[in-house]
């Protein structure tokens, strides 16, 4: 199985102690967001976990503990944008703090296990296409040699983030302007030795050097593992999403990054209340087991095709 850590919250930044404790224990519980009284027990044995995908804006708490992952294959999806604290209120300063952390992590684990995410892209009177192009160039030049993959996407409006996004007064970008924008960042990525791709986007930008791709990409995972995988598309994601199957272990309404565009938090109040329930030694992230809960062991298995090693 592939473990997603996590689309729903920033576990490396805020809950890494919990995650490392769960690796030691060999299992964790995750509550079904669609059926809150159903809890799955996930076996974390290295023989069953083919790859761990970390999603984060700040993996600094993990930097001194990477040796605890020695029995696992993994890579990082590291979101690094040009937004200020008006959009990403609790993310440390990008140039002074986050770029050096990205470089440090890449040096430790290798550039092939680092994906730079510049997403989601939204446009306002402050965050104009010109602003993004300048920010994208500055970050790309700083990450040249520390990653060879960049993923972009454009902001999606959901019921959960619409209120926050309405306060930003988003500006639509016409098709021609969007294509010109794509042309510019495509050039910048190429100049800095990066393959750039969109995530879960219908628009075709291939002529500008920006291909369609996905976050949990089968080919990339197979390159890291050195094995082919018997795995299909993740049916729990949007139609446009090309990600392969994974098990997400996060909990909604627990991320403290405070991003205005976030779809995983309903409200600041919910995040505060859930944070109060956090126990690094609990098998469940930010919660307790109730009498009405039903715990079921989820059947998981390795999806590697060992006989067809890519390294042979």
How far is it, in rounded angstroms, from Cα 88 to Cα 78? 14
pLDDT in tens, 32-51: 998 989 999 999 999 999 99
pLDDT at 309: 54
**Domain locations in the chain as residue ranges:** 2-309
pLDDT at 307: 55
pLDDT at 10: 98
pLDDT at 112: 96
CB-based contacts of 211-215 (< 8 A; 24+ apart in sequence): 212/242, 213/151, 213/242, 214/241, 214/242, 214/243, 214/244, 215/53, 215/55, 215/77, 215/115, 215/117, 215/151, 215/241, 215/243
pLDDT at 62: 98
C-alpha distance from residue 43 to each of 25, 29, 184, 278, 288 (Å): 10, 9, 45, 21, 19
Question: Starting from the edge strand earliest in sequence, which strands make up the sheet with 195-199, in order?
Answer: 210-213, 195-199, 149-154, 114-121, 74-79, 51-56, 2-5, 247-248
Antiparallel, parallel or unpaired: β 35-43 and 27-32: antiparallel
Name residue, tokens 């473990």.
3
pLDDT in tens, 169-196: 899 888 889 889 999 999 999 999 999 9
Angle formed by the axes of helices 129-143 and 99-109, nearest 10°: 40
pLDDT at 202: 72
Using CA atoms of 121, 124, 128, 133 in order, give the dihedral in degrees to the nearest 10: -20
pLDDT block averages, 10 residues each, the chain of length 312: 96 98 98 94 97 98 98 97 96 97 98 96 95 98 97 80 83 88 94 90 80 84 92 76 89 95 89 96 94 96 74 50
Peptide bond connecting 120 to the previous residue in cis, omega within 30 degrees of 0: yes
Torsion sign (Cα): 171, 173, 177, 182: positive
């Amino acid at each position: 199985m592939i473990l997603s850590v996590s689309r729903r919250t920033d576990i490396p930044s805020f809950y890494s102690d919990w995650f490392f404790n769960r690796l030691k224990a060999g299992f964790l519980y995750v509550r079904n967001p669609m059926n809150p009284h159903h809890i799955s027990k996930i076996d974390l044995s290295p023989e069953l976990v083919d790859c761990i995908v970390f999603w984060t804006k700040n993996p600094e708490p993990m930097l001194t503990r990477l040796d605890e992952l020695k029995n696992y294959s993994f890579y990082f999806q590291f979101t690094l944008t040009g937004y200020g604290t008006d959009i990403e209120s609790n993310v440390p300063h990008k140039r002074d703090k986050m770029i050096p952390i990205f470089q440090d992590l890449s040096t430790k684990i290798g550039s092939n296990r680092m994906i730079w995410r510049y997403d989601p892209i939204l446009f306002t009177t402050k965050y104009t296409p010109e602003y993004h192009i300048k920010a994208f160039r500055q970050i790309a030049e700083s990450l040249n040699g520390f990653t060879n993959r960049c993923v972009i996407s454009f902001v999606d409006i959901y019921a959960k983030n619409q209120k926050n996004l309405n306060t930003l007064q988003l500006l639509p970008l016409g098709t021609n302007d969007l294509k010109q924008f794509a042309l510019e960042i495509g050039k910048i990525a190429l100049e800095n030795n990066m393959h750039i791709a969109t995530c879960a986007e219908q628009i075709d930008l291939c002529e500008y050097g920006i291909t369609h791709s996905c976050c949990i990409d089968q080919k990339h995972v197979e390159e890291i593992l050195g094995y082919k995988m018997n795995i299909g598309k993740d049916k729990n994601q949007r139609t446009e999403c090309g990600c392969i199957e994974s098990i997400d272990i996060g909990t909604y309404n627990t991320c403290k990054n405070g991003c205005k565009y976030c779809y995983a938090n309903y409200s600041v109040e919910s995040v505060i209340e859930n944070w109060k329930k956090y126990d690094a030694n609990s098998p469940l992230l930010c919660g307790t087991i109730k009498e009405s809960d039903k715990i079921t062991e989820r059947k998981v298995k390795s999806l590697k095709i060992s006989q067809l090693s890519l390294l042979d």
